Structure 1
Amino acid sequence: MSTLQLNDEQRALAAAIRDFSRKECGTREQRAAWTNDFKDNHSPELYQRIADLGWVGVTVPAEYGGAGSSMLDMCVVVEECMRGGLPVVGIATTIIVAAAYERYGSAQQKKEMLGGIVGGAPESVAMSEPGAGSDVGSLSCRAVRDGDGWVVNGQKTWCSGAHYAKHILLVARTGRGATKHEGLTMFRVPTGTPGMEIRGIDTLGGREVNDIFFTDCRLPADAVVGTVDAGWSQLTTGLNVERLVLAAVLLGIAERAFDDVLAYVKQREQFGRPIGTFQALRHRIADLATELECCRLLTYHVAQRVDADPHRILPQEVSMAKLKVTETAKRVTLEGMQMMGGYGYASEYDMERHVRSALAGTIYGGSSEIQRDIIGKTLGL
């Protein structure tokens, strides 16, 4: 990790997470044990332990039990957890959800949700639908007023971690306005609520995402998070957090993949010497190291800009960070697999799992194409 932009406390935090990761997930056997032989990417037990250490609640205000730390601190925590191979991917969506409740939750919601998150409750978001992914304004899952509450009908898809989350932060259509983005509302839905069914989706990475079906699902009036019909503006103010979290996740995965392939090319011998000493591989390693340093500096820089003005939305900068880091992670993992040859493809090694994680990173949270389009618009195109 580059330490150019980290203070002593942040360096100590990174070192503590690295030490924890080495002790708990330093061997393949340990990682297999925590993940049901790599079938799961989130261990509730290990997640609870990092919550007890205060890492999950790093950005939650102190009044709710969190550390009240900066976005840069958050990036350090998420990056190091992923670099250390900790199967706690639920931390990403949980931090994103925490930011939404901190901004828009009622006093009671903040107390319950932020306190629960600090205590180790993982959370999930339900926004995408079969017919609406990048085009959020096309959402059709509907919440209709019924007495003093709401009734929800429709389907959500690609909901990360919904199968182990305590609540779902649902974005549903509650009305129509002058534009398609008007009339969206956020709701808090406890998992297990009658009328809500969560079904896993089989993917390249195993059980990571889910469909959620709502059939006459009744919610109380206090399920609304923020203001009715103002969900779109609430979503846009959360982009800084969402895309920085995802950049930190993929930065950590890319760093871990780089560490693994670097160790491999130093040890693997062919033609009488380590394969890393051949120029063809040495130069590729050098290029990847340079790209990773660029990603670190960009991510930290954007995090510091957000910390300097938390209420300012930085669409260009956060989209650049998400785009650059996720595309670099894809490159690092695919190059790592190529340099490791058959071993990079074998499930005996971690590289094939790194590849699967990195490929998905260029899609969720706004695909690379969407990030480029946003950046282009900020440049007046």
Structure 2
Amino acid sequence: MTMPFTPEREDFAASVADFCRRECGAREQRDALTDNGRHQHNSWLYQKMADLGWVGAGLPSEFGGSDAGMVDVCLFLETTARGMAPISGFTTSTIVAGAYQRFGSPEQRKLVLGGVAGGEVAAIAMSEPEAGSDVGALSCRAERWGDHWVINGQKTWCSNAHIANSILLVARTSSDKDKHSGLTMFHVPADVDGLRIHGIDTMGGREVNDLYFTDCELPDDAVVGQVDGAWGQLMAGLNLERLVLAAVMLGTAQRAFDDTVAYISERRQFGRPVGSFQAIRHRIADLATEIECCRLLVYRVAELVDENPDRMLPKEASMAKLKVTETAKRVALEGMQMMGGYGYATEYDMERHVRGTLISTVYGGTSEIQRDIIGKTYGL
């Protein structure tokens, strides 16, 4: 730990790190928990963390959380990612919980926030085959019929839907000239009739899904927030989403760096450790500096969020997401290069780091989108 955290936060991070070392510190343990890397979430391990009160860190105590702030959530995310704990469901659950905390009805908050704090997983469905970065172009339709809504359409790239208890759906409820004004959020139980979840095979195993809605009926009280108000609700949650993703990749970058240093310190060529060569030492120095810059940025933005949770931070949050994901990708690719053929072999974790960091610059808003947002904050 290099940040000036309070003793309580230092102890919290140490406890989480120790848990990860004991429960999933060995490659054999992680393989057993993830079916040799095919799955990114282990419910048994996640429930153990929930029983310790960790997965509800950022939630109100009235729903089983600990009333902690974003600094604590980021600390948990960084530490578990560094420990390679297979709990991908926490990321989407935290993002979804933030939306319900802001806009959900009392009943919805009790159901979802209480469930998340207790170890349930939540997912969010926004992207569609023809609406990725341009979320406002989505066409999955929700129509009101009497006292209920009927959903028809497709969603794609929905992370963790296959392990979720509920899904926060963004659907079109009107077709105004302004494409952003006709969107609405819905609470969707994952086992509702009319919803089919189909996994998408990727380099990272089973994590994302296609969702098919066919005459899927939802009660009127399934609306989260205001009808036709989802765009503003989504914008209000961007700080949380981008910061969560940045914190995960901060931990992944640090783990890839740790693994690289461990390897080049032991691997010998030309009669000495590979890491003793100046070319390698300088690479390590550059990567270490970049990671530390990322850490300072992540926790600075987290502090700003804690100071005023309602404040919009489009520039700062996008900077964190952009900088950390691009740095994590660089660290993993450089680590693979420095490890040579072994960096490419499945015997080592580096190839997993590469797969995980490559996609991080795409989901949650691509690096190009983040740059565009940052540029607009300067009036460009």
1:27 aligns with 2:26: yes
Whether contact under 8 Å (1:129, 1:139) holds in the other structure is yes
Superposed, which structure 2 residues align to 1:99-118 within 5 Å?
99-118=98-117
After TM superposition, give the deviation of residue 3 of structure 1 in Å. 2.2
Query: What is the alpha-carbon distance in structure 2 between the residues aligned to residue 331 and residue 3 of structure 1?
Result: 22
Superposed, which structure 2 residues align to 1:139-218 within 5 Å?
139-218=138-217
Query: What is the alpha-carbon distance in structure 1 between the residues aligned to residue 270 and residue 44 of structure 2?
Result: 46
**Percent of matched pairs sharing the same residue:** 64
Farther off after superposition, 304-313 or 291-300:
304-313
Whether contact under 8 Å (1:189, 1:223) holds in the other structure is yes
After TM superposition, give the deviation of residue 51 of structure 1 in Å. 1.1
Query: What is the alpha-carbon distance in structure 2 between the residues aligned to residue 309 and residue 118 of structure 1?
Result: 23
SS in 1 for 2:167: strand
Q: Deviations over 1:188-220 (max 9, x none)?
A: 111111110000011111111000000000001
CA root-mean-square deviation? 0.7
Q: Deviations over 1:123-165 (max 9, x none)?
A: 1010000000111110100000011010000000000011101
Q: Deviations over 1:46-73 (max 9, x none)?
A: 1111111111111110111101101000
Whether contact under 8 Å (1:60, 1:66) holds in the other structure is yes
Superposed, which structure 2 residues align to 1:336-375 within 5 Å?
336-375=335-374
After TM superposition, give the deviation of residue 177 of structure 1 in Å. 2.9
Q: Deviations over 1:215-264 (max 9, x none)?
A: 00000111111111000000000001000000001111111101101100
Query: What is the alpha-carbon distance in structure 1 between the residues aligned to residue 179 and residue 110 of structure 2?
Result: 33
1:132 aligns with 2:134: no
1:46 aligns with 2:60: no
After TM superposition, give the deviation of residue 37 of structure 1 in Å. 1.5
AA aligned to 1:135 is D
Whether contact under 8 Å (1:40, 1:207) holds in the other structure is yes
After TM superposition, give the deviation of residue 2 of structure 1 in Å. 1.9
Query: What is the alpha-carbon distance in structure 2 between the residues aligned to residue 100 and residue 165 of structure 1?
Result: 16
After TM superposition, give the deviation of residue 178 of structure 1 in Å. 4.3
SS in 1 for 2:162: coil
Query: What is the alpha-carbon distance in structure 1 between the residues aligned to residue 77 and residue 246 of structure 2?
Result: 9
Query: What is the alpha-carbon distance in structure 2 between the residues aligned to residue 191 and residue 26 of structure 1?
Result: 32
Partner in structure 1 of residue 3 of structure 2: 3
Query: Which segments of 5 or more consecutive residues in structure 1 lack a partner in the other structure?
Result: none
AA aligned to 1:282 is R
Q: Deviations over 1:310-349 (max 9, x none)?
A: 1110000000000000000000000000001111000011
Query: What is the alpha-carbon distance in structure 1 between the residues aligned to residue 111 and residue 93 of structure 2?
Result: 14
Whether contact under 8 Å (1:3, 1:11) holds in the other structure is no
After TM superposition, give the deviation of residue 371 of structure 1 in Å. 0.1
Query: What is the alpha-carbon distance in structure 2 between the residues aligned to residue 333 and residue 166 of structure 1?
Result: 33
Query: What is the alpha-carbon distance in structure 2 between the residues aligned to residue 28 and residue 134 of structure 1?
Result: 36
Query: What is the alpha-carbon distance in structure 2 between the residues aligned to residue 39 and residue 115 of structure 1?
Result: 29
Query: Which segments of 5 or more consecutive residues in structure 2 lack a partner in the other structure?
Result: none
Query: What is the alpha-carbon distance in structure 1 between the residues aligned to residue 89 and residue 111 of structure 2?
Result: 19
Return the TM-score normalized by structure 1.
0.99
- Report how many residues are paired: 380
Partner in structure 2 of residue 85 of structure 1: 84
Query: What is the alpha-carbon distance in structure 1 between the residues aligned to residue 285 and residue 154 of structure 2?
Result: 46
1:73 aligns with 2:58: no
SS in 2 for 1:75: helix
Query: What is the alpha-carbon distance in structure 2 between the residues aligned to residue 328 and residue 370 of structure 1?
Result: 17
AA aligned to 2:27 is R
Query: What is the alpha-carbon distance in structure 1 between the residues aligned to residue 310 and residue 36 of structure 2?
Result: 43
Partner in structure 1 of residue 278 of structure 2: 279
